[in-house]
Structure 1
Amino acid sequence: MSLSPRIIAFLLAFLISVLTVVFLTFVEGVTNNMLFVVAVSSFAVSFFLVLYAIELLVYREVNKMYKTIHKLKIRDFNISRKTIIKNNNPFKKLNDEIFVYVARKQKEIEELKRLELFRREFLADVSHELKTPIFAAQGFIHTLIDGAIDDENVRDKFLAKAAKSLDGLDALVKDLVALSQLETGELKMHFERVDIHQVITEAFEQLEKKAHTKGTTLRIRTDRPGSYWVKADPQRIHQVMTNLLENAIKYGNDNGKVLVTLEEEKKQVLVFVKDDGPGIPPEHLSRIFERFYRVDKSRSKERGGTGLGLAIVKHILNAHRSKVSVMSKVDRGTTFSFKLDKVE
C-alpha cells in the first residue's frame, strides 16, 4: 500500500493527539474543554510539523539525486523532478527508474561484450582466410623466381596453382565487400517481378558441372505447373539460390540428390533446398549463418569456399523482409527454406 505524506502526517498527528489526551486525563483539574483544545492544537501542530519534515526531507534528498543524475548527463531517464516529488512514493518511483536504467545498461554492456568477441573472432578469421591464398601464391611465384620457371611443365603447373589461389582471394574479397555493403545498407535491392522457378532453373544450369563431378542429381518439385512470380531482386535472389545449391552439392553425399521444392501460399511462395548429406549437429545450427563459421573446419577447407555464403544469404533475405531457416538431422540431410512475397 502506498501512503502519501499527508496521510502519514495525519495518522501520526492523530496518534500524538490521542496519546496526549489520554495522558492528560490522568491529571487532576483538567476539564473537557481543556482536553478538546489540547487535542485540536496538538493534532494541528503535529500534522504540519510532520508534513513539513517529510516533504522537506523528500524534496531535499530527491533534489540531490536529480542533480547527480543531471551532472552525469544520463538522458535515459524519462522522468522530471516535478513528477518524482508529486508521486505518492517518490523514492520508490526513482528507485524503479534507476533499476530499469541499470538493467538496460547491463544489457547494452553484454551486447557490447558479445560484439567485441565477435569482432576479435572475425579479425582472426579474416586474417587466416586472407593469409592462406596469399602464402600459397607467394610460394608458387617465389619457386618460379628461384629457377623453376625454366622447366616448362613446372612453370605451367605452378602458375595455374598461383592463379587458382589468387582467384580464391578475389572471391573472398568480393564476398567480404558484398557482405559489408549488405550489413551497412549500401547495397540496395532492386525489386522486380521475378519467376523464381526460372531463377532455380538457371542456377541448376550454372552448377551442372559441379553436380556432375560429384554425381549429384538436381531436381525441382512444384505443387503446380507454370511460373511462380515473386517480388525480388533478380540478381540477389539468384545469388541466394546459387549459394544454397552450391552448399547442398558440396556437403551432400556423392551420387546423392538435391531437391528444390516450391510451395505456393495465399500471399507467399515457399522455397525449400534439401540435400541428403550427413546433416548438421544441433549445437552448430544456431551459428552456421555467422561469417566464416564452419561445422567441420578441416573438411570445409578441403571443399573450398569463402565461408561467407550463408551469411550473405541471410542478409539478402533480410533485405527482402524474409528469413532463412534451417532444419537438419544427422545422417538424414539438411533443408534450408525461406519465403518470398508473391505477385501476380
Structure 2
Amino acid sequence: MELHDKGKIRGIRRRWLLNSVGVVLLILALALGTFIASLRSYYYTGTTDDLMSRASSTAYSFRNYTSSEYSTVAQRTVSEYEEKGLLELQFLDETGAVLYSGNDLAAGTTPDTPDIQGALEDQETTPWIGRDPSTGERIAAACSPVVYQGHTEGLIRYVTSMSGIDRQFILTVSLITVVALAIFAMVYFSNLYFVRSIVEPLASITETARLIADGSYGVQIEKKFDDEIGELTDTINDMSLKIRQSEKTQSEFISSVSHELRTPLTAITGWAETMQSGELRDPEDMKKGMEIILSEARRLTNMVEELLEFSRISDGRFTLSVEPLNLKAELEDAVYTYTEFFRREGIALEYTDCPEEMLPISGDPHRLRQVFCNLLDNAAKHGGSGKRIDVSIAREGEEAVIRIRDYGPGIPEGELPFIKNKFYKGSSKARGSGIGLAVCEEIVVRHEGQLFIGNAEGGGCLVVIRLPLDK
C-alpha cells in the first residue's frame, strides 16, 4: 500500500512537471527557434542582399559598354578596387569564365556555381551560399549580368567568405541556447521545489487520513504552512477531533440508552414476575406494582419516540403538519398537563400570561406541544431541586417569546456550547437519551424560530423560544 501511494505521489509530481515545465520548455523552444531563424535571416539574408545590391549597381554602370569596352573597363576597375580584404570582385565573360578578379588565383577559372548559372540563364541578379568548388570554403556570392542590347556581355560577381559570419552566428546561437537552458533549469528546479512543498505535506495528510479511516480518531497533523495546505490541515484536524467526539458521544449514548432501557425493563420484569407468582395479596401492593409498570412503560415509550424522531431527522423523514394555531393556547395546555405532576413532585409551576388573547402562528401543534413538554420535563429533571419552575409567554415585536426557567444548579459553562448536540448529556446524572434537546432545536428551527439555552441570573437554567407571528 505504501509503495502504491508513493507511486501516486510520484505520478502527481510527474504530471505537474509535465504540465508546467513542459509548457515552459515548449515556449523556450519556440522562442529559441524564432530567434535563430531571425538571426539567420539577419546574418545570411542580409549578406546576400548586400552582395546583390553591389552586383546590380556595378552591372548597371556597365550597361552601355560593348564586349571590348567591357573587358578594358573591367580590368581597370579590378585594379582600382579597394575592398579586396572584405569582398572579392570578379568579372566573368558570357560563358561564365573569370576574366579578372581581385583574387588573382580565381582568374581563368570557371566556378559554374548556381549564382552564375542563374545570371546567365535568367539575366537577373542571383545570390548563392555554398562551398567554393575549388577551395571547399563556404562562401556567399551574388552574380549580376551585364546586358547590352539584349545580349549578355559578361557577369559581375561579388564573393565573400562565410567563415567569420558562420563563426559569429554559431557563437550567438550558442550563447542564446545557454541562456535558454539556464532559464529552463531555473524554472525546472523552482517547480520541483514548489511541487515538493505541495506533495510532501499531501503525503503526510494522506497518511493521517488513512489513520483516521482505520479508526485512529483524534490524531492531528502538524501545521507547517499558512496557505491552502494549512487550511486543509486545519480541516482534517478539525474533522479528526469531531469524529473522535462523535464516536465518544455515540458510545456514551449507546451506554446511556442501554442503561436507560435496562432500568425500566428490570422494574417491569421484576414487578410482573412478582405479580405472576401470586406473592402479592394486598390490593394496595398490586395497585402500586401496576402503577410502576405503567410508569416505566410510558418512559420506555417516550424513549422509543425520541429515538424514532432522531431517526426521522437523520434520514430526512422529519416533517411538519403546518396549520394556523394559537401558540398561547398550546403552551397553556402543556402547562396545565404538567401542573399536577409537578405538584406531586413538590415543584411549584408559576405561569405568567400575556395580555393578548391570541398569538397566531403557522405551525404543527403536535410538534410544538412536544417541544413544550420536553422542555418542562427537562426543567423538572435537571432543575427540580430548586422546587420552582417559571413559564412565561409574551409578544415582543413580531415574535412570540416563551421563557422556561428552573432554579436548579444550572449548566456548567463549558457544556453550554454542546448542550443541544445529539447524544450529548454532559455531566448530568439525570435519566435520558441525550437527543431530546436536539429534536426540540430541529422543530423550532423548522418553524423559522430560535431556541436559546443558558444560565439565568441568580442561578438555574433559562430556555428561550422565539417564534415569528403571523401578520
* TM bracket, shorter-chain basis: 0.5 to 0.7
1:247 matched to 2:378? The reply is yes
In the other structure, the counterpart of 1:16 is: none
2:254 to 103, 110, 123: 123
CA contact (8 A) 1:258 1:275 kept: yes
Residue by residue, what CA displacement relative to the aligned partner does 1:260-296 show, whole Å, maximum 9, x if unpaired? 1323224x33322233444333234334334362654
Under a length normalisation based on structure 1, what TM-score does the superposition of the two structures give? 0.67
Structure 2 match to 1:15: none
How big is the shift at 1:228?
1.6
Relative to total residues, which structure has the larger strand share, 1 or 2? 2
Question: Which residue does the alignment assign to 1:342?
Answer: 469
Equivalent residues in 2 for 1:99-138, closer than 5 Å: 99-138=230-269
User: Which letter does structure 1 place at the counterpart of 2:437?
Assistant: L
Q: Which residue of 1 aligns with 2:56?
A: none
Give the CA deviation at 1:173: 1.1
For residues 386 and 231 of structure 2, the distance between their equivalents in structure 1, rounded to whole angstroms, comes to 56
Counterpart of 1:262, as a letter, is A
What CA RMSD, in Å, does the superposition of the two structures yield over aligned residues? Answer: 4.1
Residue 395 of structure 2 aligns to a residue in which SS? strand
Distance change >3 Å, CA 67–CA 264, structure 1 → 2: closer
Matches within 5 A, 1:1-344: 43-56=175-188, 97-149=228-280, 153-213=284-344, 214=346, 216-222=348-354, 224-249=355-380, 251-252=383-384, 256-266=388-398, 268-290=399-421, 291=423, 293=425, 295-297=427-429, 300-301=430-431, 308-329=435-456, 332-344=459-471
Whole-angstrom CA distance in 2 between matches of 1:207 and 1:152: 28
Structure 1 residue runs of 4+, over 6 Å off? 36-39, 58-69
Unpaired runs of 5+ residues, structure 2, are: 1-20, 29-167, 207-224
SS in 2 for 1:324: strand
State how many pairs are aligned.
Answer: 285
Q: Which residue of 2 aligns with 1:89?
A: none
Is the CA contact 2:249–2:424 (under 8 Å) kept in the aligned structure 1? Answer: no
Separation of aligned partners in 2, 1:63 and 1:140: 72
The alignment's TM-score, normalised by the length of structure 2, stands at 0.51
Distance 2:333 2:395 in 1: 19
Q: CA deviation at 1:125?
A: 0.9
Shift of 1:185: 2.5
Contact 2:334 2:369 in 1 (8 A): yes
Report the identity percentage.
Answer: 21
Change (3 A) 1:67 1:163: same
Unaligned runs of at least 5 residues, structure 1? 10-35, 75-93
CA–CA separation in structure 2 for the residues paired with 1:254 and 1:62: 64
Bigger shift: residues 110-119 or 271-280: 271-280
Asked if the contact 1:191–1:231 (Cα under 8 Å) also holds between the matched residues in 2, the reply is: yes
Contact 1:327 1:336 in 2 (8 A): yes
Deviation at 1:314? Answer: 1.9
Q: Offset at 1:236?
A: 0.9
Deviations 1:120-170 (A, max 9, x none): 111111111111111111222233344415665544433432333222212
Structure 1 residues 280 and 117, CA gap change in structure 2 (3 angstroms): closer
| Residue type of the alignment partner of 1:101 | L
2:389–2:404 Cα contact (<8 Å) kept = no
**1:194–1:151 distance in 2 versus 1, CA, 3 Å:** closer
| Counterpart code for 1:310 | L
- Judged with a 3 Å threshold, the aligned counterparts in structure 2 of structure 1 residues 225 and 318 are, in CA distance, closer, same or farther, namely closer
Q: Secondary structure, in 3 states, of the residue corresponding to 2:324?
A: strand
Contact 1:278 1:331 in 2 (8 A): no
Tell me how far apart the structure 2 counterparts of residues 288 and 67 of structure 1 sit (CA, whole Å): 40
Measured in 1, the distance between the counterparts of 2:353 and 2:282 equals 53
Task: Give the residue type in structure 2 aligned to 1:218.
Answer: E
